Amino acid sequence: MLPVGTQAPDFNVKDHNGNDVSLKNFKGKKVVLWFYPKADTPGCTMEGKGFRDDYEKFRAKDVVILGVSLDGVSGNRAFAEKFSFPYPLLCDENKDLALTYHAVKSRDDGYASRITYVIGEDGKILEAIEKVDTKSHSSDLCSRL
Protein backbone atom coordinates (compact mmCIF):
# COMPACT_ATOMS: atom_id res chain seq x y z
CA MET A 1 0.00 0.00 0.00
CA LEU A 2 1.09 3.56 -0.55
CA PRO A 3 2.13 5.23 2.72
CA VAL A 4 -0.18 7.60 4.55
CA GLY A 5 1.01 11.20 4.15
CA THR A 6 2.46 10.77 0.67
CA GLN A 7 1.14 12.50 -2.43
CA ALA A 8 -1.45 10.35 -4.19
CA PRO A 9 -0.34 9.69 -7.77
CA ASP A 10 -2.51 11.28 -10.44
CA PHE A 11 -4.22 9.05 -12.98
CA ASN A 12 -6.32 9.34 -16.10
CA VAL A 13 -8.76 6.51 -16.89
CA LYS A 14 -12.21 6.06 -18.42
CA ASP A 15 -15.23 5.67 -16.20
CA HIS A 16 -18.18 3.37 -16.89
CA ASN A 17 -19.74 6.06 -19.11
CA GLY A 18 -16.59 6.49 -21.21
CA ASN A 19 -15.62 9.82 -19.56
CA ASP A 20 -12.00 10.64 -18.75
CA VAL A 21 -11.42 10.85 -15.00
CA SER A 22 -8.29 12.25 -13.34
CA LEU A 23 -7.50 12.65 -9.66
CA LYS A 24 -6.51 16.28 -10.27
CA ASN A 25 -10.16 16.99 -11.20
CA PHE A 26 -11.06 16.53 -7.52
CA LYS A 27 -8.48 18.84 -5.93
CA GLY A 28 -10.04 20.48 -2.88
CA LYS A 29 -12.24 17.45 -2.13
CA LYS A 30 -11.67 14.24 -0.23
CA VAL A 31 -11.70 11.17 -2.45
CA VAL A 32 -12.50 7.59 -1.51
CA LEU A 33 -10.76 5.39 -4.08
CA TRP A 34 -12.01 1.85 -3.54
CA PHE A 35 -10.64 -1.03 -5.58
CA TYR A 36 -12.78 -4.12 -6.12
CA PRO A 37 -11.92 -7.42 -7.84
CA LYS A 38 -14.75 -7.93 -10.35
CA ALA A 39 -17.96 -6.20 -11.39
CA ASP A 40 -21.23 -7.90 -10.45
CA THR A 41 -19.79 -10.49 -8.08
CA PRO A 42 -21.27 -10.96 -4.58
CA GLY A 43 -18.68 -9.16 -2.43
CA CYS A 44 -18.18 -6.33 -4.91
CA THR A 45 -21.92 -5.88 -5.23
CA MET A 46 -22.36 -5.71 -1.45
CA GLU A 47 -19.55 -3.17 -1.13
CA GLY A 48 -20.85 -1.12 -4.07
CA LYS A 49 -24.38 -1.06 -2.67
CA GLY A 50 -22.99 0.21 0.63
CA PHE A 51 -21.36 3.17 -1.13
CA ARG A 52 -24.58 3.69 -3.09
CA ASP A 53 -26.70 3.70 0.07
CA ASP A 54 -24.31 6.09 1.86
CA TYR A 55 -23.67 8.26 -1.22
CA GLU A 56 -25.68 11.27 -0.03
CA LYS A 57 -23.95 11.17 3.38
CA PHE A 58 -20.56 11.23 1.63
CA ARG A 59 -21.71 14.07 -0.65
CA ALA A 60 -22.87 16.08 2.38
CA LYS A 61 -19.28 15.78 3.66
CA ASP A 62 -17.93 16.85 0.22
CA VAL A 63 -16.39 13.40 -0.33
CA VAL A 64 -16.09 11.92 -3.84
CA ILE A 65 -16.56 8.15 -4.29
CA LEU A 66 -14.62 6.41 -7.08
CA GLY A 67 -14.79 2.64 -7.57
CA VAL A 68 -11.97 0.97 -9.53
CA SER A 69 -11.67 -2.44 -11.16
CA LEU A 70 -9.89 -4.00 -14.10
CA ASP A 71 -13.24 -4.43 -15.88
CA GLY A 72 -13.94 -2.65 -19.16
CA VAL A 73 -16.43 0.12 -19.79
CA SER A 74 -19.28 -2.19 -20.84
CA GLY A 75 -18.91 -4.51 -17.82
CA ASN A 76 -18.73 -1.64 -15.35
CA ARG A 77 -21.58 0.21 -17.08
CA ALA A 78 -23.83 -2.86 -16.76
CA PHE A 79 -22.80 -3.21 -13.08
CA ALA A 80 -23.50 0.48 -12.35
CA GLU A 81 -26.86 0.41 -14.13
CA LYS A 82 -28.00 -2.87 -12.58
CA PHE A 83 -27.50 -1.52 -9.05
CA SER A 84 -28.10 2.22 -9.68
CA PHE A 85 -24.65 3.30 -8.56
CA PRO A 86 -24.57 7.13 -8.56
CA TYR A 87 -20.77 7.38 -8.58
CA PRO A 88 -18.17 6.64 -11.28
CA LEU A 89 -16.70 3.17 -11.70
CA LEU A 90 -13.21 3.52 -13.17
CA CYS A 91 -12.13 1.03 -15.82
CA ASP A 92 -8.45 0.23 -15.32
CA GLU A 93 -8.12 -2.28 -18.14
CA ASN A 94 -4.40 -1.65 -18.69
CA LYS A 95 -3.76 -1.95 -14.91
CA ASP A 96 -1.73 1.28 -14.70
CA LEU A 97 -3.82 2.68 -11.86
CA ALA A 98 -3.91 -0.63 -9.96
CA LEU A 99 -0.13 -1.02 -10.30
CA THR A 100 0.49 2.54 -9.13
CA TYR A 101 -1.77 2.11 -6.09
CA HIS A 102 -0.55 -1.45 -5.32
CA ALA A 103 -3.93 -3.06 -5.99
CA VAL A 104 -2.15 -5.57 -8.26
CA LYS A 105 1.39 -6.89 -8.03
CA SER A 106 1.92 -7.26 -11.78
CA ARG A 107 0.19 -6.91 -15.14
CA ASP A 108 -0.39 -10.68 -15.00
CA ASP A 109 -2.83 -10.32 -12.09
CA GLY A 110 -6.40 -10.99 -13.18
CA TYR A 111 -8.15 -9.03 -10.44
CA ALA A 112 -7.49 -6.01 -8.25
CA SER A 113 -7.18 -6.46 -4.49
CA ARG A 114 -10.04 -5.21 -2.34
CA ILE A 115 -8.34 -2.13 -0.87
CA THR A 116 -9.30 1.49 -0.30
CA TYR A 117 -7.50 4.82 -0.14
CA VAL A 118 -8.82 8.04 1.32
CA ILE A 119 -7.14 11.00 -0.36
CA GLY A 120 -7.28 14.42 1.27
CA GLU A 121 -8.23 17.77 -0.22
CA ASP A 122 -4.52 18.48 -0.71
CA GLY A 123 -3.98 15.24 -2.67
CA LYS A 124 -2.18 13.40 0.14
CA ILE A 125 -3.15 9.94 1.31
CA LEU A 126 -5.05 10.12 4.60
CA GLU A 127 -5.84 6.41 4.93
CA ALA A 128 -4.68 3.21 3.23
CA ILE A 129 -7.06 0.38 4.11
CA GLU A 130 -5.85 -3.15 3.41
CA LYS A 131 -8.59 -5.16 5.12
CA VAL A 132 -12.16 -4.41 4.05
CA ASP A 133 -15.43 -5.84 5.37
CA THR A 134 -17.74 -5.63 2.34
CA LYS A 135 -20.85 -5.43 4.55
CA SER A 136 -19.81 -2.44 6.64
CA HIS A 137 -16.92 -0.77 4.78
CA SER A 138 -18.88 2.19 3.45
CA SER A 139 -20.72 3.01 6.67
CA ASP A 140 -17.56 2.55 8.78
CA LEU A 141 -15.64 4.89 6.50
CA CYS A 142 -18.43 7.46 6.23
CA SER A 143 -18.81 7.66 10.01
CA ARG A 144 -15.18 8.72 10.48
CA LEU A 145 -14.74 11.13 7.56
Q: Exposed e or buried b for every residue in 35-55, given b needs 16+ CB within 10 A?
A: bbbbbeeeebbebbbbbbebb
User: Is position 44 annotated as part of the catalytic site?
Assistant: yes
In degrees, rounded to 5, the angle at the alpha carbon of residue 55 between the alpha carbons of residues 145 and 20 is 100
Strands of 63-69's sheet in order across: 20-22, 12-15, 89-91, 63-69, 30-35, 116-119, 125-129
CA distance 48 to 27: 24
Which value, in Å, is the radius of gyration of the alpha carbons in the chain? 14
Strands 30-35 and 63-69: parallel
Catalytic-role residue among 13, 33, 44, 104: 44
Catalytic residues: 44
